[in-house]
Amino acid sequence: MKKLIVFLALVSVMIFSLSCMSDAQTMNNDQTLDARQQSIVTIAAFTANGDLEDLSAALNEGLDAGLTVNEIKEVLVQLYAYAGFPRSLNALNVFMSVMKAREAKGIKDVAGKEASPLSTDKSRLELGTEIQTRLSGSPVAGEIYTFAPAIDQFLKSHLFADIFGRDNLDFQSREIATIAALSSMKGVNPQLQAHFRIGMNTGLTKAQMNSLVSVLKSKVGKPEADNAAEVLNKVLSNK
């Protein structure tokens, strides 16, 4: 009987320890971006600012952290909408070189999921409006869209339908990439502020946003991180 009591006590201690470890892991995941997400930050930042040498290293780190080839391609393609075709095309060229070098070393990276065809049940404008509204938390309207209706249509039909509607990269990852890219560009703080809010709408926490800023500071540059932190603080103070 005594041995049974001791055994049950040991089992209870083990269960409690495992529970604590699980809670600690959950807390850690909630407090910081994981390695995969941190790699999206650096890949997006170096794509946007045109630092191709550091981008090459970031791409290798991203693959090693578990990003698939198609996820990285998707980040680089998406960023043309924010940083322009030249930056996106240059980044894709660097990625091709990285892939060739890794293949020559015998490294086999996971290709990952291809994007599914867009829904045919809705027009691209309807789909884009739905995605934009979901990410923003409410329908998007403003004087600028009345002044230039074409930009409203392009944002909905192209950015949010054609790009964000592709399902081989989740919305959180897309927002991490967008925030990192905008943080690495000058003169786009209104858009950065909007995407910090959208990022939180996808479930990214305050701690994870601060983690993103920390990655910018340690890997990209202090001025970029300081500006991002200032914008983030404005967003948080207005919530």
C-alpha separations of 77 from 65, 147, 150, 160 in Å: 20, 29, 22, 13
pLDDT computed for residue 30 by the predictor: 58
Q: Is 5 among the domain residues? A: no
pLDDT > 70 fraction of the chain, expressed in percent and rounded: 87
pLDDT of residue 228: 98
pTM given for the model: 0.87
Task: Tell me the pLDDT tens digit for each residue of 64-82.
Answer: 999 999 999 999 999 999 9
What was the pLDDT predicted at 220?
Answer: 98
pLDDT given for residue 207 in this prediction: 97
Summarised one tens digit per residue, pLDDT across range 48-57 is 999 999 999 9
pLDDT at residue 162 above 60?
yes
3-state secondary structure 65-127: HCCCHHHHHHHHHHCHHHHCHHHHHHHHHHHHHHHHHHHHCCCCCCCCCCCCCCCCCCCHHHH
Per-residue pLDDT tens digits for 20-38 = 444 433 334 457 999 999 9
**Residue 94 within a domain:** yes
Residue 11 has pLDDT above 60, yes or no: no
The mean pLDDT value for 117-134 works out to 95
Domain assignment present for residue 132? The answer is no
Average pLDDT, the chain: 91
Asked whether residue 29 is domain-assigned, the answer is no
**Residue 30 lies inside a defined structural domain of this protein:** no
Tell me the CATH number at 225.
Answer: 1.20.1290.10
Domain that holds residue 208: 35-116+166-238
Evaluate if residue 88 carries a pLDDT over 50. Answer: yes
In the chain, the number of structural domains is 1
CA distance 49 to 138: 31
200 within 8 A of 179, measured Cβ to Cβ:
no
